Chain A
């Protein structure tokens, strides 16, 4: 995506301190999982972590995460 076409995003979500804090923790957890996926010892491990990421992303959605629409969006798979 290009900066000229996409409105500048900012994190507006504040669903309360408890929710926001858990969201931040899950974002960090997700970063660790994606790093493990990149270094996976086998396709089996990589795929399992990819599926786990979908579930973590679901949790982020419940917590008002708006920075990404879906897992993998920002890596622009096309």
Chain B
């Protein structure tokens, strides 16, 4: 195990604690939280009663894994639609809320979320572990590329910057050109955005005759898309901005950015175990995955959200979890190599081969001459899954037919199946300021993979 200076870490007492100590802390927190939810959230009481489980029954990890029911977004959405105040799974009333939000609606339905004053601060603490490890200190500054709306992800990044003590520079309400000029003028240490938008800003700067590398930005940070963990995109970002560090964060709207990258980039993020418990399961059986080589569905319990508890909550993200990482950073917290490998509900089976969208995204970035702008279109034709990969050429006037052939061959060589490909002229695909929509799944709910996770009512 790596030995490091404890003060290099944000919170060494837990960040370097042995696995058995961390697990003991998790179990205590989870048992307490289950009791809280049962007593204060009508939704949780209904779910637990339907499963014939009382909080006192949850004493061991086996109880947690096999007796406590999973919860899922549809539980909360149904409760939200039935409630007078429009929120689901609530355990503390509106008089305790300080701010409310909703998820991005990636899966088609907004989920309303309520946070108390303390919860905002606790959620902000998630970012400090990784930023501190990268050498970011209170004397540094962070530029936000966004307008602050109802999506919680940006706000939580802002709480993180405040929690760490950074100087905050807001790019809200500004155009892309204005943002480039603000960045050149303010010279922030960190610029926060999605990878797609950050590359877009670099393009704008070039069009304006400016070299964004002259801004001296040390780190690009953000999340919401796969790009920050895709080697080709990381390299593009590094070159376009002249940035030394590319920082990845993974989260879900219900628990916020509970995964943060350490300074020893090992291709993924660590689970911030001070703020959540995280494990993965076989999507078909609900059984815990025990091998760090095996892909499973990510299931989590958050310690940042008590007004609206999320306990043993299905994220539908497919991940690998290494619970004994040792890549030189000193953290003992679980590591998720590759971050999100796909979605359980977006998985495609083509001629018997399971194809994960993230695997396709990684391969697209490896074909010379293509841009980082792409879309994956999933459909079901005559009972068979199909995937069409649309990608923009990297430069105007490129031979799109040749590029299409190269892309198709690269995908087939690495995935073992042939996907449909279409290479488009530069600028043909839409640009997004927030999370870029990459995956278009036209299959009906009945046609998508079904994961029941046994025991869930």
Q: Tell me the A residues contacting B by CB distance below 8 Å.
A: 1-2, 4-7, 9, 12-16, 19, 51, 54-55, 57-58, 61-64, 66, 69-73, 77-78
Q: How far is the CA of A16 from the CA of B11 in the complex (A)?
A: 13
Closest beta carbon of chain A to B274's beta carbon, Å? 7
Q: How far is the CA of A50 from the CA of B205 in the complex (A)?
A: 46
Q: How far is the CA of A25 from the CA of B122 in the complex (A)?
A: 21
Q: Is B316 an interface residue (CB 8 A)?
A: no
Residue interface bits B280-311, CB-to-A below 8 A is 1, else 0: 00000000000000000000000100100000
Are B119 and A70 touching (Cβ within 8 A)?
Answer: yes
Residues of A within 8 A of B95 (CB): 77
Q: Is B147 an interface residue (CB 8 A)?
A: no
Are B117 and A54 touching (Cβ within 8 A)?
Answer: yes
Q: How far is the CA of A30 from the CA of B36 in the complex (A)?
A: 22
**A5, A12, A70 pick with most chain B CB within 10 angstroms:** A70
Closest beta carbon of chain A to B309's beta carbon, Å? 9
16 contacts between A and B (CB under 8 A): A6-B32, A6-B39, A7-B58, A12-B24, A12-B28, A58-B118, A61-B274, A62-B13, A62-B274, A69-B36, A69-B303, A70-B118, A70-B119, A70-B122, A77-B92, A77-B96
Query: Smallest CB-CB separation from B275: which chain A residue?
Result: A61
Closest beta carbon of chain A to B330's beta carbon, Å? 16
- Not counting A7-B55, A78-B40, a sample of 5 additional A-B residue pairs whose C-beta atoms are within 8 angstroms of each other reads A5-B54, A7-B32, A13-B28, A15-B21, A66-B25
Closest beta carbon of chain B to A8's beta carbon, Å? 8
In-complex Cβ contact of B121 among A6, A55, A62 (8 A): A55
Closest beta carbon of chain B to A33's beta carbon, Å? 14
Are B14 and A64 touching (Cβ within 8 A)?
Answer: yes
Are B56 and A66 touching (Cβ within 8 A)?
Answer: no
In-complex Cβ contact of A63 among B13, B21, B306 (8 A): B13
- Give chain B interface residues in 18-52, CB to chain A under 8 Å: 21, 24-25, 28-29, 31-33, 35-36, 38-40
Residues A19 and B13 in contact in the complex (CB < 8 Å), given A9-B28, A70-B306: yes
Q: How far is the CA of A4 from the CA of B39 in the complex (A)?
A: 11
Residue interface bits B86-127, CB-to-A below 8 A is 1, else 0: 000000110110000000000000000000111101100100
Are B118 and A71 touching (Cβ within 8 A)?
Answer: yes
